[in-house]
Structure 1
Amino acid sequence: MLLTVEAAARRLSVSRTTMFRLLKSGAVDSVRIGHARRVPAEAITAYVQRLAEEQQHAA
C-alpha cells in the first residue's frame, strides 16, 4: 500500500515538512509515480523499527 506524503506524516505524527526532510535524507524510502511522491507503508514500519533499535543500543 502506498501513502501520500501527508498520510505518511500523519502516521508518524510529524509535520509535512519533517516528512519531506526524512524522504530527502533517505531515512524513509519513497517512490515516484508520475509527478507524485508516495511512501510505501512498509517504509514507515521499517523506519520506526530502526529508530527503536538505535535507541535501544544507545541506552
Structure 2
Amino acid sequence: MSEKKSVRPAEAAALLGVCRDTVYVLMRSGRLRSIKAGRARLIPLSALDEFLAADEEFAA
C-alpha cells in the first residue's frame, strides 16, 4: 500500500498542533493550500511543509 499524500483537515490539525477550525481559517485565507475532491477537502502533505517553512521564515 502506498503512503498518504494528503490528509483531511482534522488530521492536518493534529499534525500542526492546532484545532480543526484554525485549519479551515488558514485554508480560507490562502495560507494553507488545499484541494476539493468531491465533498472532501484534502490538504497535500507538501502544503503542510510549505506552510511550516513559510512560518519559520516569517518568525526569523
| TM-score between both structures, scaled by the size of structure 1 | 0.92
4+ residue segments displaced more than 2 Å: none
> Partners of 1:19 and 1:6 in 2: how far apart?
8
Residues 1-59 of structure 1 mapped to structure 2, 5 A cutoff: 1-56=5-60
> Partners of 2:23 and 2:58 in 1: how far apart?
19
Q: CA deviation at 1:21?
A: 0.3
Return 5+ residue gaps in structure 1 as ranges: none
Q: CA deviation at 1:37?
A: 0.2
* Number of equivalent positions: 56
Identity %: 29
